[in-house]
Amino acid sequence: MRFLKFVLIALIILRIPTVFSQLNQQIQVDVVYLASEELEGRATGTKGESLAASYIVSRMKSLGLKPGNDGGWYQSFKIPANPHMVNSAELTGKNVIGYLDRKAKSSIIIGAHYDHLGHGVVGSLAPNDHNTHNGADDNASGVAAMLWIAEKLTQQKKLEHNIIFIAFSGEEYGLFGSKAYIENPTIPKENISAMINMDMVGRLNAENVIAISGVGTSSKWNNVLQEIKPADFTFNNSESGLGPSDHSSFYLKEIPVLHFFTGQHKDYHKPSDDSYLVNYEGIEKVANIIYDIVVKIDPIKKIDFIKTKDQSKEMATDFKVTLGVMPDYVYNGNGMRIDAVLEGRAAMKAGMKDGDIIIHLAGEDIKDIHDYMKVLSENKKGDKVKAKVLRDGKEVELDVEF
Ligand SMILES: [Zn+2]
């Protein structure tokens, strides 16, 4: 399997010069290295994390960034031992911080976590598979995008903001790196104008749909996004500043945030999240969009902060049941498309399959993911309901027991 992977990577690299630009090749080099077996899944506190961190430092140096933490590249932090796990010990992780100094008072932060799940166990969706969880999409893709944005921004000599680039660690254990940063920021917190986060930007689909959250955290975002949106892209915007990635840590300290995500997939948090499945051109496109956003917001004197309705928390506390599927967050059509049906759960028992589109559930029409969430919040465990899904264009009726 490893050999096969090597051959695939070699094939992809060999055909690049004829297809992609030079810089796109750099994006691929970054992802392939960060997601390689040598880094053993970049778990916080391991040798793989250190190797990844040194690599990111060397890349930042070569781009001409300065060390961002008082002359140093790293900011270390502790993750306490987990009392619910055997053999759990305190871990030390490190953020990598690069600084583009434009002698401005305020700064914009661009971030992406670089840690992943190592050989699985904590956070894995394939907990019995101890092969390396390579985390190519999650989140070597975000780091590569961040470095590409850094490369473009270093060529912008006139900026009204400094830019701080942070590769966070400790994300997979619970956003520890970003929390540590905002507790001990490298510049006064009031001087952080906005934070832009990327987590899983490596699977841009053929329809060019990007999920962007945090759009409600400033009155500026909607206009900016409309102005820079390429005609062939669809932005799936959501208001909330809270979500399962590092932007949440900044939002909670009242900093306007935007978070970019190209969608869920069946390899999420599994050893199969590999670099040969990544859409490199897609990473470049997403990164270019974020670059355009930074250039657009740079002259704005004050990017106001707005507290948003906490959607994800509401959803989590309202759920009495789950179906055991991974929704397709970037699906735009009618219904709720299932990216992946999870092993042994209600949906699988009911006979649902990856790619099914739920259009009817428990007596309700399902037009989108919000209708689906609403139905989940209204049912309880043991309820038996009917579901209707679209499979290869045909309607299929199924019996579901929550
Ligand atoms: Zn992630």
| CA distance linking residue 133 with residue 120, whole number of Å | 6
Task: Give residue 17's pLDDT.
Answer: 42
Classify residue 121: in a domain, yes or no. yes
Q: Which domain holds residue 50?
A: 2-309
Task: Give residue 303's pLDDT.
Answer: 96
Q: Do 303 and 363 fall into the same domain?
A: no
Query: Confidence band (pLDDT; 50, 70, 90) for 316?
Result: very low
The conformational region for residue 187 under phi > 0 = left, psi -120 to 50 = alpha, else beta, is: beta
CA of 269 from ligand 1 middle (Å) equals: 9
pLDDT in tens, 42-76: 999 999 999 999 999 999 999 999 999 999 999 99
Instruction: For residue 305, give every residue at least 6 positions away whose Cβ sits within 8 Å of its Cβ, in sequence order, or none.
Output: 217, 218, 254, 255, 256
Asked whether 185 and 131 are in contact (CB, 8 A), the reply is no
Q: Is residue 336 within a helix (H) or strand (E), and if so which, with residue range?
A: strand 336-341
| CA distance linking residue 136 with residue 273, whole number of Å | 6
Please state, for a pLDDT cut of 70, what percent of the chain lies above it. 89
CA of 396 from ligand 1 middle (Å) equals: 34
Q: Do 304 and 332 fall into the same domain?
A: no
Instruction: For residue 25, give every residue at least 6 positions away whose Cβ sits within 8 Å of its Cβ, in sequence order, or none.
Output: 16, 17
Q: Rounded to the nearest 5 degrees, what angle is found at the Cα of 183, between the Cα atoms of 181 and 184?
A: 65
CA of 139 from ligand 1 middle (Å) equals: 5
Classify residue 191: in a domain, yes or no. yes
Look at residues 252, 274, 309 and tell me which one is the last residue of a structural domain: 309
CA of 111 from ligand 1 middle (Å) equals: 12
Classify residue 138: in a domain, yes or no. yes
Q: Is residue 95 within a helix (H) or strand (E), and if so which, with residue range?
A: strand 91-100
Q: Do 118 and 159 fall into the same domain?
A: yes
CA of 30 from ligand 1 middle (Å) equals: 16
CA of 48 from ligand 1 middle (Å) equals: 16
Task: Give residue 2's pLDDT.
Answer: 52
Classify residue 292: in a domain, yes or no. yes
CA of 47 from ligand 1 middle (Å) equals: 19
Q: Which residue has the tokens 């001990």?
A: 184
> Mean pLDDT in the chain?
89
CA of 196 from ligand 1 middle (Å) equals: 14
Query: Confidence band (pLDDT; 50, 70, 90) for 12?
Result: low
Query: Confidence band (pLDDT; 50, 70, 90) for 313?
Result: very low
Classify residue 314: in a domain, yes or no. no
CA of 211 from ligand 1 middle (Å) equals: 14
pLDDT in tens, 142-166: 999 999 999 999 999 889 999 999 9
DSSP letter string, 182-233: HHS-SS-GGGEEEEEEES--S---TT-EEEEE-GGG-TTHHHHHHHH--TT-
Q: Is the pLDDT of residue 290 over 60?
A: yes
Q: Do 27 and 137 fall into the same domain?
A: yes
- Total count of domains within the chain: 2
Query: Confidence band (pLDDT; 50, 70, 90) for 341?
Result: confident
Q: Do 303 and 351 fall into the same domain?
A: no
CA of 290 from ligand 1 middle (Å) equals: 18
CA of 155 from ligand 1 middle (Å) equals: 29
Task: Give residue 89's pLDDT.
Answer: 85
> CATH no. for residue 72?
3.40.630.10
| CA distance linking residue 4 with residue 7, whole number of Å | 5
Q: Is 176 exposed, middle or buried (0-12, 13-18, 19+ CB in 10 A)?
A: buried
Look at residues 257, 276, 309 and tell me which one is the last residue of a structural domain: 309
Q: Which residue has the tokens 């254990």?
A: 173
Quickly count: other Cβ atoms within 10 Å of residue 156's Cβ.
Answer: 14
Q: Calculate mean pLDDT across residues 6-34.
A: 67
> CATH no. for residue 384?
2.30.42.10
**ipTM exceeding 0.90, yes/no:** yes
